[in-house]
Amino acid sequence: MLLHFTKMHGLGNDFMVVDLVTQRARLRDEQIRQLADRRFGIGFDQLLVVEPPRDPEMDFRYRIFNADGSEVENCGNGARCFARFVRDQRLTHKHEIHVETAGGPLVLNVQHDGMVRVDMGRPRFNPATLPFEAPGDQPLHAVDVDGDTLELGVVSMGNPHAVLQVESVDSAPVEHLGPLLESHPRFPKRVNVGFMQVVSPSEIRLRVYERGSGETLACGTGACAAVASGIRQGLLKSPVNVHLPGGQLSIEWPDPESSLVMVGPATRVFDGRVTLN
Ligand SMILES: N[C@@H](CCC[C@H](N)C(=O)O)C(=O)O
């Protein structure tokens, strides 16, 4: 069958976006892995699927699959692209869009300047929410990796994140520690790993080794998790500019009882059709 799709990106974190409101298809894990392949397929970090909502209070259901075929709970850069996509495709005319995700509801606003503002909900630090095996909730957890003990912040943004503070993201051992932490036995559902360099209380640099996709040029939920962990440790103060290899995001988290808000761009690259075997 022939499937219409759109290629998009949020700061270089790239997506294949599929409208299953007006098309019918069912993608198997191995088909997703093949489509994600940058040489034999279309190539993407995540597949985003737009579906009708199951909850009548919501506008859409938004599903996310990593390049390895695993379905996940949330994707921040994807959420911004999702909002752009449903408006460009005229699936909605609303400026404020309510979506259900596996990680909980999100509220998305397409601003007049084209930037997308996402209410990402409240970060959760309780280890059980990730899940992460730890005796209790604390700002930093000691984790043994490859003969060293690392101090990690752990945060759920619907999906699981570990945040490691580093001197410099340029020399951070992302390729070495990323896969070791992603599959560390204390994270039974694996984890996304952020390497955060604090530049000032309102500015960080960040690289993220993503669960199921490897290092990406940007990770929206990773940026939210790093800022939440940094604020909780007293290193940062809202709002915070996050510099990622693919560009910049603005994150606001004015107080612990409020939602965390992410603002950033969403870019359409091209439309295509692919035959599914
Ligand atoms: N790129 C994303 C996160 C995608 C999902 C993640 N790899 C996971 O497994 O949880 C973002 O922008 O948030």
Q: Is 211 annotated as a binding residue?
A: yes
The pTM of this model reads: 0.97
pLDDT number for residue 203:
98
Mean pLDDT of 74-82: 98
Look at ligand 1, atom 5, and give the residue with the nearest C-alpha.
75
Kindly report, residue by residue over 229-276, the tens digit of the pLDDT. 999 999 999 999 999 999 999 999 999 999 999 999 999 999 999 999
Q: pLDDT of 83-104, one tens digit each?
A: 999 999 999 999 999 999 999 9
Give me the long-range contacts of 28-36 (CB less than 8 A, separation at least 24). Answer: 29/69, 29/70, 30/69, 31/276, 31/277, 32/65, 32/67, 32/69, 33/67, 33/68, 33/69, 35/274, 36/67, 36/68, 36/69
| Complex prediction ipTM | 0.99
Ligand 1 pocket, Cβ-based, cut-off 6 angstroms: 13, 45-46, 64, 66, 72, 75-78, 159, 192, 210-213, 216, 219-221
At 191 the pLDDT is 98
Identified catalytic residue from 8, 17, 50, 75: 75
Average pLDDT over residues 194-218: 98
CA distances from 28 to 21, 31, 112, 189, 216 (A): 18, 5, 37, 20, 23
pLDDT at 34: 97
Note if 224 is an active site residue.
no
The alpha carbon of 45 and the centre of ligand 1 are apart by a number of angstroms equal to: 9
Mean pLDDT along residues 70-79: 98
Could you tell me the distance, in angstroms and rounded to a whole number, from the CA of residue 125 to the centre of ligand 1? 18
| pLDDT for position 277 | 78
